[in-house]
Amino acid sequence: MKLDISALRYLTSEDWRVLQAVEQGSKNHELVPTPLIQQLAGLRGGSGVHKCISALAKVGLIAKVKNAKCRLVEPQRCRAHILITWCPSDDGYRLTYGGLDYLALNTHRKASAIYSLGNQIGVGKESDIYITASPDGRQLVLKLHRLGRISFRTVKANRDYLRKRSTGSWMYLSRLAAQKEHAFMCILYREGFPVPEPVAWSRHTLLMEFIDSFPLRMIESIPNPGKLYVELMDMIVELAKRGLIHGDFNEFNILIKEKTVNGKIRLEPIMIDFPQTVSTNHANAQMYFDRDVACVKRYFERRFKYTSDEPGPFLADALKDADPGRRLDVEVEASGFSKKMAKELEQYVEVVGGDQTESDGASVFGHGDAVDEDDEDDEDEENDPGLEHSERGAGEEDAPPICQVDDPDLEEHLGSLSVDDNLAAKPASDADYGLVPIALPQDPDVVAEKVRTKKRASGWAI
Ligand code: ADP
Ligand code: MG
């Protein structure tokens, strides 16, 4: 789903209130009836609300749903002889992902976290990643969670679980994913783990530091794979010692960044993507830990032809060295991401799986062809997330890597990235990221003056 911000700057404060009212109403209603929108928006005069509703519907931020619950069934056609009555008041509106995007962007904008939005740099199985910049020009990444976007064809089990969910419940799960990711990143960053700095979280979106890097998936060779291997395994073990398992630790979710230390270039692995992180107390902790380890092992064997002589690492060993007083899983729970929320999200993850099955690897810098161009307007697609997803990425599993570390002299420091010509598309400067202001802050005096001028022009006496 493309994030189209062209309408953002034209929304009036009443439009925003109505949009927020639909969001608020959606918490308890699958579709929000117009009188409720009116009540929640607290706007006087029904015609004003109707105008806002149609303006929002026109740009696809809300969608009208007709008679979603009660349908007219003609008695003669109803075999069970049950007369279902016609409920005209069941017309209502629901928030679209576009509307949710706008609300989140507006929150980030009002908090002065985002000033401009740039190009899409990544598209995960269930997220869209954009470059943004703060008012002081710092480049940031905006991750929009889009749970429910997976293709049904890639999910073998439990299709019913996916099909039965409404758009609203996907949005709820997307919020949970963003909240969870933010909670984990805050604590991991504070504790000095190599993760992007989390900046803000609103609804289904997360704002974080932009890491100028390449996913491990795109690196063809390194002079000393053993050193990187050890660093990655250490990361898994250090996490476990603090009570956590990443749960999706693989070549897509490890970014490799060049860093200059004491005049020497070294490569630094940074981990991302935490919606699947679990506690080491989790019933399946052993399986998740072993799976993370196996992912790294398998990838190093396949890509770098590197096999470690060392067995493990093993969860039991990591837990032996753990200090119960320094558990981060406990802290995350205390931060507001409850066990109940974790359970709800986990149910979904169990059905869908993680990046192991995904095709997001070739999405960064010039691989924008993977961007999903689906349109929000389509009512059927919205109701059936399986239809919303374009079938991309089949065969991307074997996409060639696009950069190389090939300087053996730098063995001590893993070497530096040598980027090949395919990376010409990588933006060189801010301007190339396509950053444009998301909305110019509206000065209320200027707006009022504009209204007065318009009224004067149309013959009003003011
Ligand atoms: P998903 O949950 O959909 O897999 P990820 O968080 O793994 O989403 O992000 C998808 C891709 O976006 C990553 O593989 C990476 O290329 C890019 N990306 C994500 N976060 C950042 C970041 N902070 N800096 C730079 N690139 C990022
Ligand atoms: Mg990922």
Asked whether the predicted pLDDT for residue 365 surpasses 60, the reply is no
Q: Specify the long-range contacts of residues 64-68, CB closer than 8 Å, at least 24 apart.
A: 64/91, 64/92, 64/93, 65/31, 65/91, 65/92, 65/93, 65/94, 65/379, 66/91, 67/91, 68/30, 68/31, 68/92
Q: What is the arithmetic mean of pLDDT over 343-347?
A: 88
What pTM did the predictor assign? Answer: 0.78
Q: What is the arithmetic mean of pLDDT over 170-197?
A: 95
Q: What is the arithmetic mean of pLDDT over 202-222?
A: 93
Closest CA to 312 of 293, 284, 288: 293
Ligand nearest to the CA of 122: 1
Asked whether the predicted pLDDT for residue 216 surpasses 80, the reply is yes
Euclidean distance between CA atoms 190 and 377, whole angstroms? 41
Residue 188 confidence class, pLDDT cut points 50, 70, 90: very high
Q: Is the CB of 433 under 6 A from ligand 1?
A: no
Nearest CA to ligand 1 atom 12: 122
Minimum mean pLDDT range among 52-56, 64-68, 255-259, 395-399: 395-399
Q: Report the residue among 129, 270, 271 best suited for mutation to probe ligand 1: largest number of ligand atoms under 8 A from its CB.
A: 129
Residue 29 confidence class, pLDDT cut points 50, 70, 90: confident
Question: Could you write out the DSSP letters of every residue in 96-149?
Answer: -HHHHHHHHHHHHHHTTS-SEEEEEEEEETTEEEEEEE-TT--EEEEEEE-TT-
Q: What is the arithmetic mean of pLDDT over 260-280?
A: 90
Closest CA to 176 of 149, 150, 146, 151: 146
Residue 46 confidence class, pLDDT cut points 50, 70, 90: low
**How high does pLDDT run on average in the chain?**
77
SS3 call for 426: coil
- Predicted confidence at residue 212, as pLDDT, reads 92
More confident residue, 123 or 24: 24
Question: Could you write out the DSSP letters of every residue in 241-264?
Answer: HTTEE-S--STTSEEEEEEEETTE
DSSP lists the bridge partners of residue 257 as 213, 268
- Predicted confidence at residue 260, as pLDDT, reads 82
| Cα(234) to centroid(ligand 1), Å | 22
Asked whether the predicted pLDDT for residue 390 surpasses 50, the reply is no
- Predicted confidence at residue 165, as pLDDT, reads 65
- Predicted confidence at residue 48, as pLDDT, reads 86
% of the chain beyond a pLDDT of 70: 70
Euclidean distance between CA atoms 198 and 208, whole angstroms? 4
- Predicted confidence at residue 422, as pLDDT, reads 39
Closest CA to 292 of 262, 254, 264, 324: 254
- Predicted confidence at residue 393, as pLDDT, reads 33
Atom of ligand 1 nearest to the CA of 211: 24
Asked whether the predicted pLDDT for residue 163 surpasses 60, the reply is yes
Upper half-sphere CA count for residue 189 (Cβ side, 13 Å):
15
- Predicted confidence at residue 266, as pLDDT, reads 83
Q: Report the residue among 143, 249, 358 best suited for mutation to probe ligand 1: largest number of ligand atoms under 8 A from its CB.
A: 143
Asked whether the predicted pLDDT for residue 107 surpasses 90, the reply is yes
- Predicted confidence at residue 431, as pLDDT, reads 56
More confident residue, 350 or 83: 350
Nearest CA to ligand 1 atom 5: 273
Q: pLDDT for 378-387, tens place per residue?
A: 333 343 333 2
Neighbours of ion ligand 2 (CB under 5 A): 124, 252-253, 273, 355
Q: List the catalytic residue out of 101, 128, 248, 273.
A: 248
More confident residue, 161 or 114: 114
Burial class (CB in 10 A: 0-12, 13-18, 19+), 212: exposed
Residue 355 confidence class, pLDDT cut points 50, 70, 90: low
The pair of three-digit structure tokens given for residue 138, joined into one six-digit string: 């710092």
Q: What is the arithmetic mean of pLDDT over 350-355?
A: 68
Q: pLDDT for 314-338, tens place per residue?
A: 999 999 989 888 999 999 888 888 8
Ligand nearest to the CA of 217: 1
266: left (phi over 0), alpha (psi -120 to 50) or beta: beta
Asked whether the predicted pLDDT for residue 368 surpasses 50, the reply is no
Q: How many CB atoms lie within 10 A of CB 434?
A: 14
- Predicted confidence at residue 321, as pLDDT, reads 84
Q: Report the residue among 176, 208, 272, 277 best suited for mutation to probe ligand 1: largest number of ligand atoms under 8 A from its CB.
A: 272
12 Cα distance to chain centroid? 27
Minimum mean pLDDT range among 168-172, 309-313, 367-371: 367-371
Handedness of CA 18, 21, 23, 26 (dihedral sign): negative
59 Cβ contact partners less than 8 Å away, ≥ 6 residues apart: 7, 98
For 268-305, b/e burial (b = at least 16 CB within 10 A) is bbbbbbbbbbbbbebeebeebbbbbbebbbebbeebbe
Residues in the chain: 462
Give the phi and the psi of residue 132 in degrees, each rounded to 5.
Answer: -135, 170
The pair of three-digit structure tokens given for residue 98, joined into one six-digit string: 């576009």
Euclidean distance between CA atoms 451 and 453, whole angstroms? 5
Q: What is the dihedral of CA 114, 149, 125, 180, to 10 degrees?
A: 60
Catalytic residue status for 248: yes
Q: How far is CA 289 from CA 121, 324, 379, in A?
A: 29, 18, 41
Q: Is the CB of 252 under 6 A from ligand 1?
A: yes
Q: Are 411 and 224 in contact (CB under 8 A)?
A: yes
